[in-house]
Amino acid sequence: TAATPQSLSHRESSAMLCSALRTRVVGRIARPAAVVSCRSYNYGTPVLWIVRYDDPTWDAEREHEYELIPRDEFGVPVSLPPEVSTNIRHTYYVPPQYYPFLKKLGDDTPELKPYTDKLMNGQMTFFDYEEMFYKFAKPLKVHRSQIPMPYRTEEEIKKTAEVTWEGKWLSYRQRVWGDYQTQHHVRDFMVGMALGTFFSWIGVQHMKQYRVDMKLFYLEAPEHKINWVKPRGDL
């Protein structure tokens, strides 16, 4: 048996409530192309939502299946005209085991009771959710007077010039080391390229001269040719 929402913590109850939210169509059943879940498999990873398809092997980024029915953000086929599809009320569905938690949440927070009642009655649309979210969302209040200011003792203040000089000295050492490394690696690169070009040129010249020598050998001295076909006398 599943644990009741009253025996769970606030974070667990929120996760269960978020995972239970599903989009359904009132008045006309439309098969959604995907099921959107707020639950993350790897707890602790900041995941907003996970899209699950009815086909386990489906990859939306690699599959180019143009025979599927295109749908809008609510899963309604675009073959329906807008004046019909926009009149369909898409509401959120919550399993009945969450009703005690929602009722207790509405009783504890009277401002949320209209929205929790709509959610339990299956009348809460996405626009109601947006209204609830922006109605109760509050900006972060920063108390700058409570933020501690950086503090240094009198001895630390007296060493300001010394610390500044140390910082400049370390920066100078880093610049010198960087220049040395740059010159060192550039020199190695240039020397390596020069040596590689030189030996490559020697190899090319060797092959060129070898071809010239073989051509002269076979053309100018055919009697010394290896495996030369002896004339039969009738040619």
Residues composing the chain: 235
Answer whether 106's CB lies under 8 Å from 113's CB.
Answer: yes
Residue 67 sits at φ, ψ, to 5 deg, of -85, -10
Predicted TM-score (pTM) of this structure: 0.33
Answer whether 131's CB lies under 8 Å from 111's CB.
Answer: no
- In tens digits, the chain (235 residues) has pLDDT values of 444 444 444 455 455 544 444 433 333 333 334 444 444 445 565 666 667 777 777 776 776 666 677 888 888 888 888 889 888 889 999 999 999 999 999 999 999 999 999 999 999 999 999 999 999 888 888 888 888 888 888 899 999 999 999 999 999 999 999 999 999 999 999 999 999 999 999 999 999 999 998 888 777 766 666 656 666 666 5
Residue 76 buriedness (CB in 10 A; 0-12 / 13-18 / 19+):
buried
- Residue keyed to tokens 């959120």: 92
Q: Is 152 left (phi over 0), alpha (psi -120 to 50) or beta?
A: beta
Q: Helices 99-108 and 113-120, interaxial angle, to 10°? A: 160
